[in-house]
Amino acid sequence: MSEVLRLDGVSKAYNQGAPNEVQVLHDVSLSLQAGEVVALEAPSGAGKSTMLHIAGLLESASEGRVIVGGEEAHSARDHRRTALRRDRIGFIYQFHHLLPEFTARDNVILPQRAAGVALGVAGARADELLKSVGLGHRINHRPAELSGGEQQRVAFCRAMANSPDILLADEPTGNLDPGTSDVVFEAMMVLVRDTGLAAIVATHNPELAARMDRRLRLVDGRLEAI
């Protein structure tokens, strides 16, 4: 296996240096290997979203390094960080954030078009992904016509559209009932395993966490193995 993501001594404080400074992360280090699925467990407000945002180059750390595919991403210029997010990292959130005026297929095509992929190629990729998660019959439906589980599977396909190396999922089944949550999780795991990408999945659900390769927990802003 090869390392696709490393956090090295990452700390994050808001209002840094001010009297009301809030320290969210303390000296967090993590190595993520290709093909590895890691569970990140923590209660709400413990800093897991902040950690994922820093890993995904959406926020900057106060201290420490973020290395994506061997590249020092924390110190890269904005345009390079944007390119790394687009090409190497996929995101899934608790709420699907699909564009309501577009079909499922269109929602999966759009990030590919932003990356310069030709429309025909992007459409074929969207069809392939949606069929792989059991949505071949829902390709031309808009989000309002889909169930919560179907919407989240579309969001997962959108995250996978540009064939990222890293998937960062923040409570991806948090809004779903247990049965639907299991269906979405299994669809996600099958596609992750088939493509060999690395994933960090933040979850409150210990049963889902136990089905991943490794479990980590944030406690008082510090990362520890379970």
Average pLDDT across each block of 10 residues of the chain; the chain has 226 residues. List them in order.
91 79 90 92 82 92 92 88 89 85 96 92 95 90 92 89 91 76 79 84 86 90 89
Would you give the DSSP letter of residue 145?
G
Burial class (CB in 10 A: 0-12, 13-18, 19+), 113: middle
Q: Say what the pLDDT of residue 18 is.
A: 66
Burial 190-221 (b: 16+ CB within 10 A, else e): ebbeeeebbbbbbbebeebbeebeebbbbeeb
Angle at 46 between CA 34 and CA 217, to 5 degrees: 45
pTM (2 d.p.): 0.87
Q: Say what the pLDDT of residue 16 is.
A: 66
